[in-house]
Amino acid sequence: MLKGMSSDCIFCKISAGEIPAKKLYEDEQAVAFADIDPKAPVHILVIPRQHIGSLAEIGASEQEKTLVGHLLGIVNQLAREQKLGKGYRIVVNIGPDGGQTVDHLHLHLLGGRQMHWPPG
Ligand code: 5GP
Ligand code: ZN
């Protein structure tokens, strides 16, 4: 797994507090903040502090699996705090075809409206 921070990465800068964001949760491993261009009434991004380019870089090591499980746990905790008991969606875009625009792993938590299927 890649270690540390990428100096030209916007999400690394948000993690480090160098760019402002509305942070909703943070710990040693992860940060959650409001998406700057929300696609739903609740739209929160959950990221690892470590610069990992995308979910495709996650392998089978215990450390990597633990980190992804931790991120999912944070999403669920935020969903409870945001009162999304009727449901919500977790999205992870991967690579150009997946619609990923920021190359630092992030989980989208979307909620507060009816989601549609299939996604665009
Ligand atoms: P992606 O398209 O890579 O899956 O998602 C990137 C998300 O990051 C988009 O929803 C976009 O609105 C959000 N985003 C991009 N730049 C910033 C920023 O500077 N601050 C915040 N809070 N969100 C950002
Ligand atoms: Zn980064």
CA distance 18 to 31: 13
* DSSP three-state, residue 71: helix
Ligand 1 binding residues, C-beta < 6 A: 10, 21, 33-37, 45, 93, 99-102
Q: Ligand 1 atom 21: the closest Cα is on which residue?
A: 36
At 43-92, the pLDDT tens digits run: 999 999 999 999 999 999 999 999 999 999 999 999 999 999 999 999 99
Pairing of strands 30-34, 42-48: antiparallel
Q: How far apart are CA 62 and CA 110, in angstroms?
A: 28
- Measured in angstroms, how far is the CA atom of residue 113 from the centroid of ligand 1? 20
Centroid of ligand 1 to alpha carbon of 54 (angstroms): 14
pLDDT for 115: 98
Residues 26, 48: Cα–Cα separation, whole Å:
10
Please provide the average confidence, as pLDDT, over all residues in the chain: 96
In the chain, the DSSP E strands lie at 23-26, 30-34, 42-48, 88-91, 107-111
